Amino acid sequence: MSVAPNSPGLTTIMDRRGFLKVGALAGGGLLISAYFPLGSSLAEAQTAPAAGAAPDFAPNVFIRIAPDGAVSLIAPNSEMGQGAKTALPMIIAEELDVDWKQVTVHQGDLNPAYGRQSAVGSGSTTGNYAALRQAGATARAMLVAAAAQTWGVPAAECSTAAGAVLHAVSSRRLTYGELTATAATLPVPTGVPLKDPKDFKLIGTRVPGVDNEKIVTGQPLYGIDQRLPGMLYAAYVKCPVFGGKPVSANLDEVKKLPGVRDAFVLENINGLVPGVAIVADSTWNAFSAVGKLKVQWDEGPGVSQNSEDMAKQAAALAQAAAVAPPAAPVKAVEAVYHYPFLAHATLEPQNCTAVFKDGVMEMWCPTQVPSAGQGLVTRGLGLAAGNVKVHVTRVGGGFGRRGSNEFSLEVAAIAQKLEGTPVKLTWMREHDFGHDNYRSNGWHFFNGGVDAAGKVVALQDYFVKMLGGPGDMNGGGFPFNAVPGSSVQSGKLPGPIPTGYWRAPGDNGNTWAVQCFVDELAHAAGRDPLDFTLDLLAALPGAAARGGPAPAAAAGGGRRGGGGRGGGFAAAKMVAVLKLATDQAGWGRKLPRGQGQGLAVCNANGAYVAVVADVTVSPQGVLKITKLTAAVDAGLIMNLSSAESQVQGAMLDGIGAAWFLKITIEKGAAAQVNFDDYPLMRLEHSPPVVDVHFLPSVSPPTGLGEPGLPPAAPAVCNAIFAATGIRIRTLPFSGQDLKWS
């Protein structure tokens, strides 16, 4: 049997009838439904199917072949720029052996038949890879069987290419479209062999994104583009202070404003932050009315929180923990590293469209986890899950922000009150910044030491962050796993500040701090950072020769929180990417003062990444990043174009955040609420050269959308130190004095 994809202890056991069901479509097409929990983890996806009872979840239909040979494929996971809407159908098309030009891709709405539709943790490809391969291969085998039956020849004599079955002996050919009716009548084969990855024709090539033309021509794809007949437009205003709630508001005055249709308070709804809803005949009129809204707020105890006090509390926690200094090192090194809260700052603000009619809530939502929004609505409004329909739109930036879906519940509550009328809720930019689920701030209090031979003999970290949310540290990741007796302790700051997943959760800030401190240890030891890091890696099991292949048993990733996440740690893979990146960057050449190179490594989402940054800093302190070089082991690459852009974009995202961005809390509220005081990196700051090199691999794909981000910022900070002797221990580093003479 196959357990429902959200069940604890998910298994992937199914029989031949459970794996595929085939039926003839109206019009003679071939419909193939796969019974596999799409979106499951890499380990689950690689589990070999075994005999068992019938599956206990509904079919998920994602392949359709029409009589004219056109192939329609469903992309089950959300698309937010990471390329999943192209890569996932590519997997099916590869095993199906169709020409990509024959394929039309459709975005899948929320449907239990698709399994767990979550585009988080860089898991879209890893979770679906094995299932989609098997579905495509089984479909191809059925089409081959149909052709063999038609010709009266053994199936072994037939081959496939570009959406057709070939019989070389007789030079005959039948297209898939010509075979659909016959294939639909055949029994489902078992044990269908998959292609050898060395024979892949589509996977690993450069394929343009399936939505590219629509994006550049401005066609409606995103949640904010949705239009329904008779639709009204809403804004939702919450207390600027986290944890606050409305006491009273000038609702009667607001209702008289131009274009305003209604205004009301929403409260006492499970999962909904209380606030004031304004409904108007246009987004402009709704936003304009917000400017006239006067609310008396009960700000609650959160108003006492501010960032300055948090820093003092973090230092007090570290002092109270009484972390002992390293035991008798030749040279002791102590440092405190701090990174701030970060907003997601998605280009498309949070939004959702909903209509409530006849007891059914229908929603159009740019979401990374459509089931999360459905769950909020069912719990908050008391609706059955089957009566909450979620259409998944393209997402204009996610980075983890749209894994939480509070905007879904907000618009659903408004739509329920206006039953029968479609409503589109759009967050004002100030609300988007002011009510984000922020990347938590964090402090690392490091103690380390090196001996006379330049070896690390002590490494301790006391880590402080906000209570709740992701990003905890552990002592099992690199480099702590390479130093006997190392330790990681942690403390938490309480409070109502909402924190959540921000691209490469945990790793984004913790890798910066840890990799910068490793660089500090290297310089304290008087050693080259590359040789120093390689020696640390050499102490780990399976490191093999520098740059050598990782043993098969160590193919997994590390764990979340500064040491990567996934399974085990493959030291040889880290060595390999480190050697490739430094070789390609020309590491070790003598540079004049004001120029420097820095490196950093990361293991996240199963991938291994090394980044080398080249920078110049003028004597007046003007920083220019001249080049970034990344080497990546992410297993088999699906689409080379999107893979390169993902790593490039991740590195630039990480550098931009470290260089310019911070959210500070003043009197319990975010102090930065728009782009004028949250300045994203501009083209003038971007390095002119951003090189990405992938290690060749036929292993199953790992995550890729996030792992390139964490090592970029520490590589730049380490390069700044090499160029100037100035060590950056607090982010962002814009405004810090980099002058040297």
Supply the CATH number for residue 30's domain: 3.30.365.10
Q: The tokens 């984004």 sit on which residue?
A: 508
Which structure tokens are listed for 178? Answer: 């010509």
Tens of pLDDT, residue by residue over 228-251, are 999 999 999 999 999 999 999 999
Q: How much is the pLDDT for 672?
A: 98
CB 424 within 8 A of CB 353: yes
CB 396 within 8 A of CB 347: yes
Is residue 339 a part of any domain in this protein?
A: no
Long-range contacts, stretch 673-678, CB < 8 angstroms, 24+ apart: 673/429, 673/430, 673/433, 673/434, 674/429, 674/430, 674/433, 675/345, 675/429, 678/343, 678/345, 678/433
User: In terms of domains, do 173 and 28 share one?
Assistant: yes
Average model confidence (pLDDT) across the chain = 88
**DSSP-based three-state secondary structure for 528:** coil
Average pLDDT over residues 5-34: 38
3-state DSSP of 654-684: HHHHHHHCCECEECCEECCCCCCCCCCCCHH
Q: How much is the pLDDT for 93?
A: 95
d(CA 647, CA 704): 7
User: In terms of domains, do 286 and 385 share one?
Assistant: yes
Confidence band, pLDDT 50/70/90 cuts, at residue 219: very high
Average pLDDT over residues 532-550: 75
Q: Which of these three, 203, 219, 246, is where a domain ends?
A: 203
3-state DSSP of 567-590: CCCCHHHHHHHHHHHHHHHCCCCC
Q: How far apart are the first and last CA of the chain?
A: 71
User: In terms of domains, do 562 and 613 share one?
Assistant: yes
Average pLDDT over residues 413-429: 98
Tally of CB atoms within 10 A around 235: 26
Q: How much is the pLDDT for 329?
A: 77
Q: How much is the pLDDT for 568?
A: 83
Q: How much is the pLDDT for 645?
A: 97
Say if residue 56's pLDDT is above 60.
Answer: no
Residue 688 contacts by C-beta under 8 Å, 6 or more apart in sequence?
626, 627
The dihedral formed by the CA atoms of 564, 567, 570 and 576, expressed in degrees to the nearest 10: -60
User: In terms of domains, do 261 and 172 share one?
Assistant: no
Is residue 486 a part of any domain in this protein?
A: no
Confidence band, pLDDT 50/70/90 cuts, at residue 115: confident
With CA atoms as reference, report the closest residue to 37 among 73, 18, 11.
Answer: 11
Tally of CB atoms within 10 A around 466: 21
CB 12 within 8 A of CB 44: yes
Tally of CB atoms within 10 A around 219: 11
d(CA 561, CA 602): 11
My answer on whether omega of the bond before 340 falls inside 30° of 0, hence cis, is no
Q: How many domains does the chain have?
A: 3
Residue 683 contacts by C-beta under 8 Å, 6 or more apart in sequence?
none
Is residue 594 a part of any domain in this protein?
A: yes
Is residue 410 a part of any domain in this protein?
A: yes
Instruction: Output 114 or 276, whichever has higher pLDDT.
Output: 276
3-state DSSP of 402-433: HHCCHHHHHHHHHHHHCCCCCEEEECCHHHHH
User: In terms of domains, do 360 and 270 share one?
Assistant: yes
User: In terms of domains, do 657 and 717 share one?
Assistant: yes
**β-bridge pairing 423-426 and 232-238:** parallel
**DSSP-based three-state secondary structure for 628:** strand
User: In terms of domains, do 20 and 169 share one?
Assistant: yes
d(CA 482, CA 375): 43
d(CA 494, CA 405): 23
Query: How long is the chain?
Result: 741
Confidence band, pLDDT 50/70/90 cuts, at residue 324: low
Q: How much is the pLDDT for 373?
A: 97
Residue 278 gets the label, from left (phi > 0), alpha (psi -120 to 50) or beta, of: beta
Q: How much is the pLDDT for 325?
A: 65
Report the b/e string of 136-162 with b at 16+ CB within 10 A. Answer: bbbbbbbbbbbbbeebeeeeeebebee
Average pLDDT over residues 53-68: 52
Least confident window among 76-80, 109-113, 144-148, 448-452 = 109-113
User: In terms of domains, do 240 and 118 share one?
Assistant: no
Q: Which of these three, 153, 188, 203, is where a domain ends?
A: 203
Instruction: Output 553 or 658, whichever has higher pLDDT.
Output: 658
| DSSP H/E element including 364 | strand 360-365
Q: The tokens 């019938």 sit on which residue?
A: 54
DSSP label at residue 225: G
User: In terms of domains, do 510 and 366 share one?
Assistant: no
Residue type present at position 112: P
- Please list the residues that pair with 132 across neighbouring strands: none
**β-bridge pairing 388-392 and 360-365:** parallel
| DSSP H/E element including 514 | helix 507-524
Which structure tokens are listed for 140? Answer: 């191809």
User: In terms of domains, do 178 and 245 share one?
Assistant: no
- CA 49 to chain centroid, in Å, comes to 28
User: In terms of domains, do 138 and 251 share one?
Assistant: no
Expressed as residue numbers, the domain containing 625 is 469-475+501-724
Is residue 435 a part of any domain in this protein?
A: no
Is residue 461 a part of any domain in this protein?
A: no
User: In terms of domains, do 387 and 248 share one?
Assistant: yes
Q: How much is the pLDDT for 58?
A: 18
Q: How much is the pLDDT for 451?
A: 94
**Greatest mean pLDDT among 25-34, 63-72, 324-333, 438-447:** 438-447
pLDDT over 90 percentage in the chain: 80
Q: How much is the pLDDT for 203?
A: 97
Residue 692 contacts by C-beta under 8 Å, 6 or more apart in sequence?
630, 632, 643, 644, 647, 648, 708
Residue 531 contacts by C-beta under 8 Å, 6 or more apart in sequence?
none
Tally of CB atoms within 10 A around 691: 17
Average pLDDT over residues 140-168: 96
Q: The tokens 């961005």 sit on which residue?
A: 661
| DSSP H/E element including 179 | helix 176-183
Q: How much is the pLDDT for 554?
A: 27
Tens of pLDDT, residue by residue over 15-25, are 333 334 444 33
CB 363 within 8 A of CB 353: yes
Residue 219 contacts by C-beta under 8 Å, 6 or more apart in sequence?
none
| DSSP H/E element including 603 | strand 595-604
Is residue 238 a part of any domain in this protein?
A: yes
Q: How much is the pLDDT for 326?
A: 63
CB 168 within 8 A of CB 181: no
* pTM attached to this predicted model: 0.90
Average pLDDT over residues 309-324: 91
Is residue 5 a part of any domain in this protein?
A: no
**DSSP-based three-state secondary structure for 30:** strand
Q: Which of these three, 184, 203, 222, is where a domain ends?
A: 203
Confidence band, pLDDT 50/70/90 cuts, at residue 7: very low
The dihedral formed by the CA atoms of 553, 559, 564 and 567, expressed in degrees to the nearest 10: 20
Average pLDDT over residues 166-191: 90
Q: How much is the pLDDT for 696?
A: 96
Q: How much is the pLDDT for 563?
A: 40
